[in-house]
Amino acid sequence: MTIWFDMDGTIADLYGVQNWLDYLIAKDALPYEVAKPLVRLSALARVLNNLQRKGFKVGVISWLAKNSTADYDEAVTEAKLQWLNKHLASVEFDEINIVKYGTPKQTFAKSESDILFDDEERNRNEWTGKAFDVDNILGVLKGLA
């Protein structure tokens, strides 16, 4: 079973960055770099490491910016990877997918038992396994342990 995380609006507060949309329109990756965590990441890392020791896999499925360019996609991908490395350095993700905006996330599911945490309702509704919003990430994960 793989536990998947969206980033923007789920574990990273992209939308809380002042003028985030203006930055994205200007093709500036700064909001992805400076977004604050939306969950206690030290606690999340501990739970994820514990679950991985029990055989769970952990992955990321995160969209790039809408209407982006190849250069901006590269900058956003690098910013997201650095964000994960900075905030969840102790977690060895089994898979990280940073994909074009709108890519159906369910295409990355490995089995019907996979779990997705995502702030976007459409992604949760289309997911083939269990999908959760961002309200109780740690509680759901602790229930798996």
List the CATH number of the domain containing 55: 3.40.50.1000
Contacts of residue 115, Cβ cutoff 8 Å, sequence gap at least 6: 1, 2, 3, 4, 129, 130, 131, 132, 140, 144
Q: Is the pTM of this model over 0.85?
A: yes
DSSP 3-state assignment of 60? strand
pLDDT tens-digit map of 61-114: 999 999 899 999 999 999 999 999 999 999 999 999 999 999 999 999 999 999
Could you tell me what percent of the chain has a pLDDT over 90?
96
Q: How many domains does the chain have?
A: 1
Range of the domain at 119: 2-144
134 pLDDT above the threshold of 80: yes
